[in-house]
Amino acid sequence: MPLDAICLGAVTEELNHVLAGCRVEKVYQPDRDEIVLQTRGQGGARRLLVSTAAGAPRVHFIDVARENPAAPPMFCMLLRKHVQGAKIAAVVQPAVERMLTIELDTTDEMGVACKKHLICELMGKHSNVILCGEDNRIIDAMRRVDGDLSGKRQVLPGLFYRLPPAQEKHDPFALSGVGLSASLQSADGEMGLDRYLLSQLLGFSPLLCRELSYRATGDTAKPVGKLTAEEQLRLAQVFEDLKSYLTEKRWKPFLLTKTEDHAVFDFSFLPITQYEGLMTVSQEQSFSDLLAAFFEKKGKTGAGKCSSLFLGFRERFTGHTHEFFQKGPVFQPLDPEHRLSPFIGQFQLAIRHEGFSRFRDLHEQAIVANAAEQFAVAIDAIFAEHLPVGDGSRIFQPCRDGLHELRA
């Protein structure tokens, strides 16, 4: 599951308990979308990982040091200037948002005490780390966002920081269970209850919405129009129970693994019951341990999946060409514009979700190929731009060959 705003609230509470009063000793940037803050306090030294990877944005402690580049990136150098040596005053979450802020007590260039804010936005492909001054003016960001990238909000040095655009959903802590149940009367009767809850409740993940639906009706996606009066009342009670669970901070870190092969599947802050015997729900020591275990095990599983994907690429796209075209939607040989997204997208999904960060920027390419020569040039251009060079490139050679044979 993505790290939703509700679960992130539990993570923030845990981080604040450990980090408040600690000092930032070192700042590292092992990857372009990862920051590591090495802190020290009464509990000893800790390493805090902030990842803005599109498929796995998260914040948690790590035990093993990451390998760092010989020359630190510019954003890392800037953080060392402004953050290194600062004291962490608090770690807070603004409202019900997928973001947290590390409040810092430090000094400016003249040695005058001041405050700075390290804002971690964990919002999928829009994730970012933004450093702001005491006046909430942006000093710099891991990813600068100008007007060409976003017409709603720019993230550039010198601009005042603004929260991401608000979603048209209800704050779950300001909504009563009775109010939620009553709103079902105006909902699309064919819509599943889980989808309806997801469209209405701010900060709720699909997993949590399915769990609410299951606890209220015994079905994770029962159509709203088929809910009985009793089930509507039960939904109101289940929602109120969940709010009490959250406001009283009774959350616990739970890891879900498949009963059949013990592969990691998901994580949550409350016991998940919707999978019955298909999943094993185990409690971890902390939310940091939970996130570290989940993404580490998920990455190991993904490595094997990606290896199989690479080895089977040539067979898939050359040995079963006719069947592949019949299944669609792939590009049609007679169309003037051919989209290579089915090919490139296969790698994008596997790599982003399974932890291959070095290939993260693989993306869809739309090319015009009226002639075979143009198509061949486009294939080589895409592989040259997006795939690795050196020893790693041999892994992808069957992919390149397969596309050329498909063209022929």
| pLDDT single digits (tens) 388-398 | 444 444 445 55
Q: Which of 318, 313, 322, 342 is nearest to 330 (CA)?
A: 342
Whether the predicted pLDDT of 254 surpasses 90: yes
What are the φ and ψ backbone dihedral angles of 301, each rounded to 5 degrees?
-65, -40
Look at strands 34-41 and 264-268 and give their pairing. unpaired
Which range of residues forms the domain containing residue 399?
A: 301-407
**134 and 176 share a domain?**
no
Same-domain pairing of 245 and 333: no
> Considering the domain boundaries, does residue 355 fall inside one?
yes
pLDDT of residue 150: 79
In a domain, 312, yes or no: yes
**Of the candidates 250, 273, 293, which is a domain's last residue?**
250
Rounded to a whole number of angstroms, the CA Rg of the chain reads 24
Domains of the chain: total:
3
CATH code, domain with 238: 1.10.8.50
Query: Is residue 137 located within the same domain as residue 184?
Result: no
* Confidence class for position 337, pLDDT limits 50, 70, 90: very low
Residue 254 burial class via C-beta count within 10 angstroms: exposed 0-12, middle 13-18, buried 19 and up: middle
Residue 259 has pLDDT above 60, yes or no: yes
Does the predicted model carry a pTM greater than 0.85? no
Asked if the structure places residue 160 within a domain, the reply is no
Report residue 34 CA to chain centroid gap.
13
Q: Is residue 288 part of a domain?
A: no
Same domain, 128 and 188: no
Distance of CA 368 to the CA centre of its chain: 33
Give 339-359 as a 3 state SS string: ECHHHHHHHHHHHHHHCCHHH
Residues 95 and 211 in one domain: no
Q: Quick check: 278 and 51 in contact, CB under 8 A?
A: no
97 falls within a domain: yes
* Mean pLDDT, range 193-201, rounded to an integer: 96
Question: Domain containing 14 — which CATH number?
Answer: 2.30.310.10
- 109 and 175 in a single domain? The answer is no
Residue 228: DSSP 8-state: -
The Cα–Cα gap between 349 and 339 comes to 16
Residue 97: pLDDT band (50, 70, 90) is: very high
Strand partners, 339: 366
Q: 136 and 65: one domain? A: yes
Residues 50 and 124 in one domain: yes
- CA 80: distance to chain centroid? 25
Among 214, 231, 250, give the residue marking a domain's end. 250
Query: Is 375 a residue whose pLDDT tops 60?
Result: no
Between CA 204 and CA 225 the distance in angstroms is 22
| Alpha carbon distances (Å) from 143 to 29, 90, 127 | 13, 24, 9
31 and 105 in a single domain? The answer is yes
Tell me, what's the pLDDT at 315? 43
Given a cut of 50, whether residue 330 has pLDDT beyond it is: no
- Is 396 in the same domain as 334? yes
Provide the 3-class DSSP secondary structure of residue 264.
strand
Q: 176 and 238 share a domain?
A: yes
**276 domain residue, yes or no:** no
Q: Is 348 a residue whose pLDDT tops 80?
A: no
When pLDDT is cut at 50, 70 and 90, the band that residue 3 belongs to is confident
Give me the residues paired with residue 368 across strands.
Answer: 337
User: Would 273 be classed as within a structural domain?
Assistant: no
**390's tokens:** 């050196």
Asked, for residue 148, whether it belongs to a domain, the answer is: no
- Cα 37 from Cα 279, distance rounded (Å): 35
Name the burial class of residue 396, with classes exposed (0-12), middle (13-18) and buried (19+) by CB atoms within 10 angstroms of its CB.
middle
Query: What count of residues does the chain have?
Result: 408
Over the chain, what is the mean pLDDT? 81
Q: How far is residue 288 CA from its own chain's centroid?
A: 15
Q: What is the DSSP letter of 282?
A: E
Residues 44 and 91 both lie in one domain: yes
Final residue of a domain: which of 141, 158, 180?
Answer: 141
Give residue 361's pLDDT band: very low, low, confident or very high (50, 70, 90).
very low
Place of tokens 């005053």: 89
Q: How far apart are CA 251 and CA 228, in angstroms?
A: 30
